[in-house]
């Protein structure tokens, strides 16, 4: 006889998964919300679990559910501050202060799903500290906050308008969202208006910089400062690595972001004697291979579509001239399937100022 799965059993399972660090405490809290709502997807999953066992596919499905729930909260939190609003806040301030030629201030945002995927590979432990250097309207901070048990998620942003927006989002989170997450620790989020070159973030365990547009000297100064992090600390950068011998690159892979794709570098601080401080493997994620560095291995369909829709401007504009739109052009070559590529060698690597096409 068919019986409906017992949600209490599922909560017990979620607690065990959290204990074994398969999911986070915040992940368990989000599952609890789904249990209370008797979410159909969850009940179906539980039914499958009762007839099979704890497989990678099951664990992956649990993570997908947690991420969907976190994403819904994230969209609600940022309802008043979509990408376009943050972009225009950045633009207004840059124009008012004649900063349009500062490439490092060009605005772009992480994509929730792909950034969640990067964090999941690292699987940060409870009580770690997360920093976003150049935190914009705080999108990356809240992917980290909703999904992981960080002691604190701290953002440092140089533009006042963006930081004010981020601060109002933090207040809204405290008022209406924090209570949905695990109650056993403070769900701290903090944003600060400053240059990350003038602030101390040496206590970070996971540090992120959406560095696609950072100039070489800014990148070098940030890399130097990153050497103050403790051995084993992670540093995630986009498009270029830190370029410091004090770090080892654990992985570089392409992911979709708000402007197209970016190569994501996951780096770890070495020990002071130069040996590796990271002995585990990054968490393997099902279906991650399609984002391998080499575009011949295939690209996600929606990205390819986005790439095609952006194709004409790639050839017409210099990333430096195009303001925020420039973010769209850096990595486009990597998105194009062979059929589109053939006949041209696209030299528009990430960070290149002038995308060029030349006949093969
Ligand atoms: C591409 S946006 C990334 C926003 C956010 N981290 C995300 O990924 O969604 C880069 C941000 O870095 C900021 N920025 C650039 N240089 C900075 C500096 N020296 N200190 C603090 N913020 C900086 C820019 O103003 C911009 O908002």
Q: What integer pLDDT is reported at residue 339 of this predicted model?
A: 28
105 CB within 6 A, ligand 1: yes
- Quote the ligand 1 centre to 249 CA distance (angstroms): 22
Say whether 18 sits in a helix, a strand or coil.
Answer: helix
DSSP notation for 296-338: GG---HHHHHHHHHTHHHHHH--TTTTGGGGGGTTTHHHH--H
136 CB within 6 A, ligand 1: yes
DSSP notation for 137-165: TSHHHHHHHHHS--SEEEEEES-HHHHHH
- Quote the ligand 1 centre to 336 CA distance (angstroms): 27
Q: What integer pLDDT is reported at residue 230 of this predicted model?
A: 97
**Residue nearest (by alpha carbon) to ligand 1 atom 14:** 134
Closest CA to 162 of 234, 104, 88: 88
Closest CA to 161 of 234, 102, 86: 86
Residue 133: its H or E element: strand 129-133
- Quote the ligand 1 centre to 54 CA distance (angstroms): 41
CA separation (Å) from 307 to 181, 239, 260, 327, 340? 36, 17, 7, 12, 10
Q: What integer pLDDT is reported at residue 4 of this predicted model?
A: 63
Q: What integer pLDDT is reported at residue 335 of this predicted model?
A: 33
Residue 13: its H or E element: helix 7-19
Say whether 288 sits in a helix, a strand or coil.
Answer: helix
As a whole number of angstroms, the distance between CA 2 and CA 52 comes to 15
Residue 44: its H or E element: helix 40-51
**Residue nearest (by alpha carbon) to ligand 1 atom 1:** 108
65 CB within 6 A, ligand 1: no
195 CB within 6 A, ligand 1: yes
Model confidence pTM above 0.85: no
Q: Choose the residue to mutate in 89, 157, 200 for probing ligand 1, maximizing ligand atoms within 8 Å of C-beta.
A: 157
Residues 298, 320, 157: CA angle, nearest 5 degrees: 85
CA separation (Å) from 202 to 153, 284, 315, 323? 14, 28, 41, 32
Domains of the chain are 7-75 (no CATH), 80-285 (3.40.50.150), 301-359 (no CATH)
Q: Choose the residue to mutate in 77, 94, 136 for probing ligand 1, maximizing ligand atoms within 8 Å of C-beta.
A: 136
Q: What integer pLDDT is reported at residue 298 of this predicted model?
A: 31
Q: Choose the residue to mutate in 104, 165, 206, 236 for probing ligand 1, maximizing ligand atoms within 8 Å of C-beta.
A: 104
Torsion of CA 226, 227, 228, 231, to 10 degrees: 110
Q: What integer pLDDT is reported at residue 326 of this predicted model?
A: 37
- Quote the ligand 1 centre to 298 CA distance (angstroms): 30
- Quote the ligand 1 centre to 132 CA distance (angstroms): 8
Closest CA to 130 of 74, 193, 207: 207
Closest CA to 26 of 167, 160, 171, 125: 125
Q: Which residues on neighbouring strands pair with residue 130, listed in sequence order? A: 153, 206
As a whole number of angstroms, the distance between CA 138 and CA 154 comes to 9
CA separation (Å) from 19 to 65, 246, 330, 340? 18, 33, 42, 48
Please report, in tens digits, the pLDDT of each residue of the chain (360 residues total). Answer: 455 667 788 888 899 999 999 999 999 999 999 988 988 888 888 777 766 666 788 888 899 999 999 999 999 999 999 999 999 999 999 999 999 999 999 999 999 999 999 999 999 999 999 999 999 999 999 999 999 999 999 999 999 999 999 999 999 999 999 999 999 999 999 999 999 999 999 999 999 999 999 999 999 999 999 999 999 999 999 999 999 999 999 999 988 777 778 899 999 999 999 999 988 889 888 777 545 544 423 333 344 334 333 332 222 232 333 333 334 333 333 333 322 222 222 222 233 333 222 332
Closest CA to 145 of 96, 64, 100, 206: 206
159 CB within 6 A, ligand 1: yes
- Provide CB contacts within 8 A for 85, sequence distance 6+: 137, 165
């Amino acid at each position: 006889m068919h019986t409906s799965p017992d949600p209490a059993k599922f909560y017990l399972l979620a607690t065990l998964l959290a204990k074994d660090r398969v999911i986070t405490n915040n992940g368990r809290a989000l599952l609890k919300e789904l249990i209370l709502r008797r979410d159909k997807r969850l009940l179906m999953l539980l039914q499958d679990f009762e007839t099979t066992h704890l497989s990678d596919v099951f664990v992956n499905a649990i993570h997908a559910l947690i991420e969907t729930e976190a994403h819904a909260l994230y969209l609600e939190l940022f309802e008043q501050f979509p990408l376009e609003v943050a972009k225009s806040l950045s633009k207004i301030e840059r124009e008012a202060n004649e900063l349009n030629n500062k490439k490092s201030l060009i605005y772009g945002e992480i994509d929730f799903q792909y950034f969640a995927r990067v964090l999941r590979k690292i699987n940060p432990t409870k009580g770690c500290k997360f920093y976003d250097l150049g935190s914009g309207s705080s999108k990356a901070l809240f992917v980290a906050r909703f999904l992981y048990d960080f002691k604190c998620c701290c953002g440092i942003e140089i533009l006042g308008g963006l930081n004010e927006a981020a601060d109002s989002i933090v207040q809204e989170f405290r008022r209406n969202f924090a209570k949905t997450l695990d109650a056993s620790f403070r769900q701290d989020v903090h944003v600060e208006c400053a240059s990350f070159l003038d602030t101390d973030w040496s206590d970070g365990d996971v540090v992120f910089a959406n560095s696609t547009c950072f100039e070489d000297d800014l990148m070098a100064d940030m890399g130097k400062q990153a050497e103050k992090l403790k051995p084993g600390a992670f540093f995630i950068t986009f498009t270029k690595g830190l370029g410091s011998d004090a770090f080892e690159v654990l992985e570089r892979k392409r992911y979709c972001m708000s402007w197209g794709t970016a190569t994501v570098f996951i780096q770890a601080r070495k020990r002071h004697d130069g040996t590796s401080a990271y002995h585990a493997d990054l968490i393997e994620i099902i279906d991650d291979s399609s984002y391998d560095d080499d575009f011949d291995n295939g690209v996600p369909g929606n990205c390819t579509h986005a790439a095609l829709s952006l194709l004409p401007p790639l050839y017409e504009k210099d990333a430096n001239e195009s303001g925020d739109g420039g973010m769209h052009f850096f990595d486009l070559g990597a998105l194009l399937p062979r059929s589109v590529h053939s006949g041209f060698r696209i030299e528009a690597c990430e960070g290149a100022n002038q995308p060029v096409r030349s006949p093969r």
